[in-house]
């Protein structure tokens, strides 16, 4: 069995306020206006699709939200979104001993580099399918077809775990068994029924 994990909201915590609040303080726009752009707005989506380099992303987003900060400072703020979900590590390590693990994430180059450097849980993964490398983002069914092709496996031999119901439903439509992540304890119970 191959178990495919989402990254943000599952393996690592996402705290949008930690990005949006400092950026909003630097902007003449409202907090809500900044958050609309920062939390997966069109520029962020372009970065996750790999259409923008980190430098281009920094420039475009800062122009859009009226913020003038250097690249290094922006990177620090942008990475403030991510923090370890320590409760997941023992479960992932246990699953890795018996199953192939893959990562399937809508992410950008900045966040993934930070995740590799700071979250040991990623060492358990055999393969990583990253939106910015693939030019595809979930819930596009083509994303999941690319993952299956890369793994050279059948949908029925996979379990996909994501915190967003729309991504789970998309995976299910092509035959992948999928779970909406709510908590570690709930995930353990759900996986017991699948594996």
Same domain, 133 and 101: yes
Name the band, by pLDDT with cuts 50, 70 and 90, for residue 195: confident
**pTM given for the model:** 0.95
Domain span at residue 34 reads 14-82
Q: In this predicted model, what pLDDT tens digit does every residue of 102-124 receive, in sequence order?
A: 999 999 999 999 999 999 999 99
Q: What is the pLDDT of residue 121?
A: 96
**pLDDT beyond 90 at 40:** no
Separation between Cα atoms, residue 100 and residue 125, nearest integer Å: 8
Same domain, 67 and 110: no
Separation between Cα atoms, residue 74 and residue 126, nearest integer Å: 31
The domain that holds 45 is classified in CATH as: 1.10.150.240
Same domain, 153 and 89: yes
Same domain, 172 and 89: yes
Name the band, by pLDDT with cuts 50, 70 and 90, for residue 17: very high
Same domain, 7 and 76: no
Same domain, 76 and 136: no
Q: What is the pLDDT of residue 66?
A: 97
Separation between Cα atoms, residue 171 and residue 131, nearest integer Å: 15
Mean pLDDT of 73-85: 97
**Peptide bond connecting 83 to the previous residue in cis, omega within 30 degrees of 0:** no
């Amino acid at each position: 069995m191959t178990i495919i994990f989402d990254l943000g909201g599952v393996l690592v915590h996402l705290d949008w306020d930690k990005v949006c609040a400092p950026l909003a303080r630097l902007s003449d726009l409202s907090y809500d206006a900044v958050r609309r752009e920062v939390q997966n707005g069109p520029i962020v989506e372009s970065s996750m699709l790999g259409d923008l380099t980190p430098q281009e992303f920094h420039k475009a987003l800062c122009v859009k939200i009226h913020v003038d900060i250097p690249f290094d400072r922006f990177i620090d703020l942008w990475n403030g979104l991510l923090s370890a979900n320590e409760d997941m590590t023992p479960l992932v390590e246990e699953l890795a001993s018996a199953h192939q693990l893959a990562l399937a994430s809508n992410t950008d180059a900045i966040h993934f580099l930070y995740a590799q450097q700071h979250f040991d849980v990623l060492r358990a993964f055999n393969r990583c399918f990253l939106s910015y490398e693939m030019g595809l983002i979930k819930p596009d069914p083509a994303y999941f077809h690319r993952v299956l092709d890369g793994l050279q496996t059948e949908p029925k031999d996979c379990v996909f775990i994501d915190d967003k119901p729309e991504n789970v439903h998309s995976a299910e439509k092509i035959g992948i068994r999928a779970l909406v992540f709510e908590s570690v304890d709930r995930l353990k119970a759900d996986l017991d029924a699948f594996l």
